[in-house]
Amino acid sequence: MSFLLVLAILTLSISTSTAVAKKYQPEISGSIEKGDRLYSDPGNWENDDPLDYYRYDKQWLKYRQKLAVGEYYYLKVQRQEKIYEQSQSYNSLNLETEANYTFYLNDKLRNRFKVLVRDKDYLEEKYDYKDYQLARLQYTLQYKRNKIHDYELILQKQWTQYQLSPDSDYQRERIALKWGWKLSQNLELNSKIQYDWQRNDNDSSRSNKDGRKISMNFKYKL
**What's the 3-state SS for 135-159?**
EEEEEEEEEECCCCEEEEEEEEEEE
Separation between Cα atoms, residue 163 and residue 174, nearest integer Å: 24
Q: Could you tell me the residue ranges of all domains in the chain?
A: 2-220
Residue whose C-alpha is closest to residue 177's, from 147, 158, 148, 156: 156
> What confidence tens digit (pLDDT) does each residue in 53-91 have?
989 999 999 999 999 988 999 999 999 999 999 888 999
> What confidence tens digit (pLDDT) does each residue in 197-213 have?
999 876 777 789 999 99
State which fold the 2-220 domain adopts: Porin (2.40.160)
CB atoms within 10 A of CB 181: 13
